[in-house]
Amino acid sequence: MVGLALSGCASIVNGTTQAIAISTPPVNGAQCDLSSSQGQWTVVTPGVATVARSKSDINIQCHKPGYQTAVGVIPSSFETWTAGNLVFGGVVGLGVDAATGAINEYPSSYQLPMVPAAPAPHHGKTPRGVPVS
């Protein structure tokens, strides 16, 4: 009975979503698209994306005019303290947490640096001035 009462402890304590602060140094105002097996999210930097917890990493792609598109991966990791759920919530509790993704976490913040776009190459001769009379 106690095991069922405490099942899903991480689901209750942490919830099934997590906020991640996203930044794109050295610029603000980049649009970042995040995606994983759990869904898709969009945030403008600096900003906070609330994502579904999962064992899946999150792919992130940020873009802003005048900058190269930046691509990265926000890693998912196992919250080791949830292993204690076996003691309090038993296998059922750990199973609930695993199914909801609550035993996984992402970093609380993630920086994806952006690089200015290269200037367009100049082809041809330099134009010469025309004298004005």
Asked if the model's pLDDT at residue 6 lies above 50, the reply is no
Q: pLDDT, tens digit, for every residue of 70-112?
A: 999 999 987 554 445 445 544 445 454 444 445 789 999 999 9
Return d(Cα 53, Cα 42) in angstroms, integer: 16
Q: What is the pTM (predicted TM-score) of this model?
A: 0.67
Q: Are 74 and 48 in contact (CB under 8 A)?
A: no
- The percentage of residues in the chain with a pLDDT greater than 90, rounded to a whole number, is 52
What is the identity of the amino acid at 66?
G
Return d(Cα 104, Cα 98) in angstroms, integer: 8
Query: What 3-state class would DSSP assign to 49?
Result: strand
Mean pLDDT (whole number) for 52-62: 94
